[in-house]
Amino acid sequence: MTPPTILILCTGNSCRSHLAEGLLRAALGDSFRVESAGSKPAGYVHPLGIRAMAEVGIDISAHHSKHLDEFLTDNVETVITVCGNADQVCPVFPGQMNRHHWPFDDPAHATGSEEEQMAVFRRVRDEIARVFQAYAAGRLDALKG
């Protein structure tokens, strides 16, 4: 049986959605299929996002930016938007049962030195981790019941 798909959406699919995808995939293991996409994909995953995730032992260097249309025919059970723009343009997927909107600052807009930008990436990564790890714990608990 194919595990349920959780799709994480943001506009560019370059930072927040990839951080969330990596963290949620690590927390849920094989119980769910976790993917990310964007309404206007940037075409790359931000290198500082990749670095921020590597600092916590999660490798997202093989991720790539995808358009949400790639998932319109998939069995998407849950959609989670992590920015306001994605929430406004998000389609309803066939079979979708759950939708959550948890917005986070976009670390791609951080300014200053590389170290100052990394501080923003770390903060957003840690904020996403708190929310998505709690969500994962609830989903895994529900599977036990």
Q: How far apart are CA 127 and CA 8, in angstroms?
A: 15
Q: How far apart are CA 72 and CA 145, in angstroms?
A: 30
Catalytic residue IDs: 10, 83, 90
Give me the amino acid identity at 60: I
Lay out the sheet containing 33-38: strands in order across: 33-38, 5-10, 76-81, 98-101
Measuring CA to CA, how many Å separate 26 from each of 88, 104, 115?
A: 28, 20, 26
3-state secondary structure of 117: helix
